[in-house]
């Protein structure tokens, strides 16, 4: 492999492997494909899958309003997100329905 290919391909591999880690955590913490997909859609709507996303005082993949998410790993952000969603809404599908109706969750 040439040096140019290493500089182009390696960052892409790292980016994909990092994103897969939080996705794997999300799959492990949700029950069933509908729950997983509902959670993933909320995360996409909130941060476009960017764990470093910032919007005012909201941080990370879930765009939660806690400074903890500012320094948390993507996997920690997912754990925080699922705890929040399940404690407030009961399911990701209920959280998504609320989000679609109100524009936030």
- Tell me: the pLDDT tens digits for 43-58? 999 999 999 999 999 9
Confidence check: pLDDT of 9 > 60: no
Lowest mean pLDDT among 7-11, 67-71, 83-87: 7-11
- d(CA 37, CA 50) in angstroms, rounded, equals 17
Task: Please report which confidence band the pLDDT of residue 14 belongs to, taking 50, 70 and 90 as the band edges.
Answer: very low
pLDDT over 70 percentage in the chain: 81
**CA nearest to 94, candidates 103, 102, 85:** 85
Q: How many residues does the chain have?
A: 105
Structure token digits, residue 54? 């910032």
Domain count along the chain = 1
pTM for the full predicted model:
0.79
Q: Which long-range contacts (CB under 8 A, 24 or more apart) does 89-93 make?
A: 91/35, 91/38, 92/30, 92/35, 92/36, 92/38, 92/39, 92/42, 93/34, 93/35, 93/38
- d(CA 79, CA 85) in angstroms, rounded, equals 10
Q: Which domain holds residue 45?
A: 3-102
Assess contact for 92 and 39: CB atoms under 8 A.
Answer: yes
């Amino acid at each position: 492999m040439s040096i140019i290919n290493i500089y182009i391909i390696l960052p892409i591999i790292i980016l994909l492997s990092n994103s897969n880690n939080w996705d794997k955590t999300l799959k492990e913490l949700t029950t069933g494909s509908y729950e997983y997909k509902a959670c993933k859609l909320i995360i996409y709507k909130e941060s476009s899958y960017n764990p470093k996303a910032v919007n005012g005082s909201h941080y990370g993949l879930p765009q939660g309003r806690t400074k903890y998410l500012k320094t948390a790993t993507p996997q920690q952000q997912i754990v925080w997100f699922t705890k929040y969603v399940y404690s407030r809404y009961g399911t990701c599908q209920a959280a998504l329905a609320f989000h679609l109706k109100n524009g936030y969750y």
